């Protein structure tokens, strides 16, 4: 018979003598205290090691705490009353027995599911121990909440530090996702952002070892794919979905999650100025309980949103510092930067620079408006990209001017393509109309014609304006006989020339004789203040300016001369006109019929007031 059995047999035989060893007054006092109190006997094995505890006494508070009455547990082993929970208390009992000391501590009493502050002490009886218990759930909860808050704040500080470091943004966000995975323990973290066309694409991800990347498989997804996501985040900024198959995803998404073994999902919206621009998805998370997860993820999402917004804005700024916003090809700065970089890295290579522009582009803008002008610029940039897609750098370097650098290509190898491109039928079509335009191209070669990049541009530019001087719509290779000074001939625009020629100039359509243009001399000839007044007195038609008695004769004479002289009026046609103030003037007309891409058949005419002439009458 072991020591424990002997002791218990002796005490059992004595019956009430066991409790008599606990002073009645002391027991009564303990019973009314607002604490739980229990006395246990040590149970030993054959090696005199404590292996269990036997109940000797419990007060009413202990009964309330455990839910057991004293008669149900006195004499029973702790392991019998609370199976599987002895290991929580056995180390304390051994320490008290061995050191004859008092132990004070806090632990989680798993047998009753409460946090307990306790005091364990030797009693006056041999081989026994007393426990005093106080439930401290609120205290522990506050302490745990404080620890969670500290851990959460520390984590968020480290996340901010990652974005404020010298790392690139890509390296920073990779580090942030990796650090986050150590707290949430997911299978995958995926950041999805909205594209300009309202589709969505994955931009960054982290995945645990053993999984494969999914980034390339989640590009340009339609809005419908994320409709349920957008609906969900309207009411909350932290969506924890315990079972994705039970959520309001479409069947395709459910099948996708099932295929990649995703059951639980945390969904976090990314905001910029109150609008959702993306999501963070966390697959199969197992959050660390030492963190305030909702507070952590809410603030974490704000940090990610702010960082992505700032990064995207900076990226966009950098992009548009080098790219033309209208055509999405290099602007002048971007073209120059890229070209100089190429030339620096390839100093010995031959290359060709072409400068081109749209003929009469200002006229197109004035005639059809800037909206159509912009569409033509975008269309022309698209044509350039398609025509010179291989081994070239191209950019819009100003207005309607574009440049193409042919890398490692001589003039002889590209001039054929440039000639063909200049003579191509350039037509922008919409649902109702076709808009034709022509282009001019000038080109020069490095290093045969210049070893200086900026001078090479000037040479190609000079060749371009040589095309302009010779009728436009063509391609010119620079040669030393092109005189740059002749560019001064282009310094006179239509307004300068027509406004200073000492005769009236008018332009009108053959069909319907609609007045298209009149210079100042013509306006003054008809005694008008401006062209609008001139058009008003003529009712919009050139016919309205000619004396009715002369009109038929004038029309027949003009038509006959055009037939005989191939659209040129070889002789003056004389007739009378009416002015705004009712005067009749004798004029002489000399003109030409031409074909316009924009107006069809058009008359260009000169009108001379006969009273202003001092010529000999016989000559007239």
φ/ψ of residue 249, rounded to 5: -85, 155
Catalytic residue among 52, 292, 357, 400: 400
The candidate with the shortest Cα–Cα distance to 132, out of 235, 39, 271, is 39
In the numeric block, which tokens belong to residue 435? 């808009």
- Eight-state DSSP code of residue 355: E
- Eight-state DSSP code of residue 314: H
DSSP element (H, E) containing 401: strand 401-406
Active site residue 618: no
d(CA 134, CA 138): 11
CB 541 within 8 A of CB 515: yes
Secondary structure (3-state) at 62:
helix
How does 540-571 read in b/e, with b if 16+ C-beta sit within 10 Å? Answer: eebbbbbeeebbeebeebbeebbeeeeeebee
User: Which residues lie below 8 Å from residue 235, measured CB to CB, with a gap of 6+?
Assistant: none
414 HSE (CA, 13 A, CB side): 28
Q: Return the beta strands (E) in 16-90 as ranges.
A: 36-44, 50-58
The candidate with the shortest Cα–Cα distance to 591, out of 506, 512, 520, is 506
Q: At what angle do helices 293-322 and 137-163 cross, to 10 degrees?
A: 10
Query: Residues with catalytic annotation?
Result: 400
């Amino acid at each position: 018979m072991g020591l424990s059995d002997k002791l218990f047999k002796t005490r059992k035989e004595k019956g009430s003598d066991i409790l008599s060893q606990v002073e009645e007054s002391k027991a009564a006092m303990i019973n009314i205290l607002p604490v739980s109190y229990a006395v246990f006997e040590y149970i030993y094995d054959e090696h005199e090691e404590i292996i269990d505890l036997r109940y000797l006494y419990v007060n009413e508070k202990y009964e309330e705490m455990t839910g057991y009455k004293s008669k149900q547990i006195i004499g029973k082993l702790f392991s019998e009353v609370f199976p599987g929970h002895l290991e929580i208390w056995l180390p304390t009992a051994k320490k008290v027995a061995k050191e004859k000391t008092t132990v004070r501590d806090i632990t989680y009493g798993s047998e009753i599911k409460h946090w307990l502050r306790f005091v364990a002490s030797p009693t006056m009886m041999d081989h026994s121990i007393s426990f005093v218990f106080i439930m401290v759930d609120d205290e522990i909860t506050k302490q745990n909440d404080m620890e969670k808050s500290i851990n959460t704040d520390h984590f968020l500080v480290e996340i901010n530090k990652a974005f404020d470091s010298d790392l690139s943004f890509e390296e920073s966000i990779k580090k942030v996702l990796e650090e986050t995975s150590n707290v949430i323990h997911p299978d995958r973290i995926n950041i999805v952002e909205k594209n300009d066309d309202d589709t969505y694409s994955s931009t960054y991800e982290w995945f645990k070892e053993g999984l494969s990347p999914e980034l390339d498989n989640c590009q340009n997804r339609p809005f419908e794919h994320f409709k349920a996501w957008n609906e969900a985040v309207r009411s909350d900024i932290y969506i924890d979905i315990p079972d994705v198959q039970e959520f309001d995803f479409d069947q395709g998404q459910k099948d996708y999650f099932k295929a990649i073994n995703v059951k639980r999902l945390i969904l976090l919206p990314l905001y910029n100025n109150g609008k959702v621009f993306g999501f963070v998805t966390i697959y199969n998370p197992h959050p660390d309980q030492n963190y305030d997860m909702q507070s952590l993820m809410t603030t974490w999402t704000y940090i990610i949103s702010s960082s992505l917004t700032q990064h995207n804005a900076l990226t966009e700024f950098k992009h548009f510092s080098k790219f033309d916003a209208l055509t999405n090809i290099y602007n002048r700065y971007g073209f120059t930067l890229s070209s100089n970089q190429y030339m620096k890295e390839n100093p010995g290579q031959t290359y060709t620079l072409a400068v081109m522009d749209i003929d009469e582009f200002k006229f197109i803008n004035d005639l059809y408006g800037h909206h159509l002008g912009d569409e033509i610029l975008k269309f022309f940039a698209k044509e350039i990209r398609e025509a010179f897609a291989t081994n070239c750098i191209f950019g819009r370097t100003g207005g309607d001017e574009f440049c193409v650098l042919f890398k490692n290509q001589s003039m002889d190898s590209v001039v054929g393509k440039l000639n063909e491109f200049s003579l191509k039928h350039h037509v922008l079509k919409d649902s109702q109309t076709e808009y034709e335009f022509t282009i001019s191209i000038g080109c020069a070669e490095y290093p045969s014609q210049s070893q200086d990049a900026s001078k090479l541009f000037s040479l190609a530019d000079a060749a371009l304006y040589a095309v302009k001087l010779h009728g436009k719509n063509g391609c010119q290779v620079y040669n030393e006989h092109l005189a740059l000074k002749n560019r001064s001939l282009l310094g006179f625009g239509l307004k300068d020339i027509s406004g200073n020629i000492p005769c009236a100039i008018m332009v009108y359509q053959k069909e319907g004789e609609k007045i298209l243009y009149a210079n100042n001399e013509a306006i003054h000839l008809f005694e008008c203040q401006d062209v609008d007044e001139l058009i008003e007195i003529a009712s919009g038609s050139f016919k309205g300016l000619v004396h009715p008695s002369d009109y038929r004769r004038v029309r027949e004479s003009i038509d006959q001369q055009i037939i005989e002289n191939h659209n040129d009026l070889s002789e003056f046609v004389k007739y009378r006109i009416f002015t705004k103030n009712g005067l009749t003037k004798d004029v002489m007309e000399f003109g030409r019929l031409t074909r316009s891409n924009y107006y069809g058949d058009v008359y260009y005419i000169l009108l001379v007031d006969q009273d202003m002439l001092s010529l000999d009458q016989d000559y007239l």
